[in-house]
Amino acid sequence: MEPRSYGFLLLLLPILKAVIALEEKIIVSKLGDNATLSCIYQGRELHLKSLRVYWQIADDQEECSVVHAMISGQDNESEQCIHFKNRTQLFWDRLENGDFSLLLLNVSQSDERRYKCVVLQKTEYTRVIHQAEVVLSLAASYSQPILSGPVRNGDSTGEEVTFSCRSGNGYPKPNVYWINKTDNSHLPPSELKITPHADGTYSVFSTLKVKATSTMQIECSVENKILQENLSANYTQQKQSGSSIESNKNLEKNGKGAQAASIISIVIVIGLLAVFTCWLWRRRPSKLVSYTDVQSNEDKGGLNSPV
């Protein structure tokens, strides 16, 4: 029976490992946000006076490992690490229901650790009734990538051109991909520079040098694996066909022709106005009597009139 039992345990071992792996909790939080480290005991109703709850850093090599402590229903800060002072709190309305989750305020890069929750109960003797481990992973979204394409003067097909792509304010370090969208092939970057900042975030700058083609479709993609975010920017070079060039030439010719036609029309209108003015001038009365003639005749008549 013993060999069979031993063989049965060997068969169960992979299943037990899988179950243990599923119990590990991974919490993802953004830099500067508040993170809730989960620790929930599924058991009978509890009395806080008989409980001790310890949150600590799982790494035993740390000089100070106490993140938060509750003893007999009260917070105890006597051994709390200074890094966590005034930054942790339990959910007091949930404790008696077995929820010992910890709220960690304003998380920073140094909080990215493995944490352990230990719950002890004191009756006749003190015993551990629950344990949980939580891995806190931090992340920050990168800004929308800015893709700058080459400045092309005329037809530069076959010449080497340079693209640049930049993004920032993200965490952790990103993956940057250059993609030729015509066939979805990946292109190796010519330069990749990741710069850290004082707040723990990164900025990224990358360049790509390729031979220019008549139709280019290039994509720059910035990936944040923890947040499962993939932001991209695209550049598309439209092919200028011969028909479009000829069309532009025809438009230019038509524009010049329209300008000449406008000038001719103005000249014709001015000429017609001049002809019309002359015609009106010729239609005036042929005999015009001047004031001096009238005055002269009146004087003569006055001299000949009887007294």
Of 237, 258, 274, which residue constitutes the final position of a domain?
A: 237
- Does residue 195 share a domain with residue 125? no
* Pair 107, 165 in one domain: no
How much of the chain is helix, strand and coil, in % rounded to 5?
30, 35, 35
Count of the separate structural domains present in the chain = 2
- State the Cα angle at 69 between 68 and 72, rounded to 5°: 155
In a domain? residue 173: yes
Q: Decide if 57 is inside a domain.
A: yes
- Other residues' Cβ atoms within 10 Å of the Cβ of residue 117: 25
Which three-class secondary structure state does DSSP give residue 10? helix
Task: Verify that 178 and 230 share a domain, yes or no.
Answer: yes
Q: How many CB atoms lie within 10 A of CB 302?
A: 8
CATH code: domain of residue 200 = 2.60.40.10
Residue 53 in any domain: the answer is yes
Band (pLDDT 50/70/90 cuts) for residue 67 is very high
Same domain, 33 and 114: yes
Tell me: pLDDT of 277 over 60. yes
Domain residue limits at 78: 23-139
Greatest mean pLDDT among 33-37, 55-59, 240-244:
33-37
Token pair listed for 196: 């850290």
> 132 - beta bridge partners?
117
pLDDT value at residue 284: 61
Residue 36 domain-assigned?
Answer: yes
What is the sign, positive or negative, of the torsion defined by CA atoms of 283, 287, 292, 298? negative
- Where does the pLDDT of residue 131 fall: very low under 50, low under 70, confident under 90, or very high at 90 and above? very high
Domain boundary among 77, 108, 139: 139
Q: Mean pLDDT in the chain?
A: 79
218 shares a domain with 172: yes
Do 64 and 124 sit in the same domain of this protein? yes
φ, ψ dihedrals at 281, nearest 5°: -65, -40
Banded model confidence at residue 279, pLDDT cuts 50, 70, 90:
low
pLDDT number for residue 64: 87
| pLDDT tens digits for range 206-252 | 999 999 888 889 999 999 999 999 999 999 875 544 433 333 344 34
The 10 Å CB-count burial string (b at 16+, else e) for 213-245 is eeebbbbbbbebeebeeebbbebebeeeeeeee
Same domain, 82 and 110: yes
Q: Are residues 35 and 109 in the same domain?
A: yes
Assess if residue 242 is contained within a domain.
no
Q: Is residue 257 part of a domain?
A: no
pLDDT tens track for 151-188: 665 566 788 999 999 999 999 999 999 999 999 999 99
| 29 within some domain | yes
pLDDT bucket at 41, cuts 50 / 70 / 90: very high
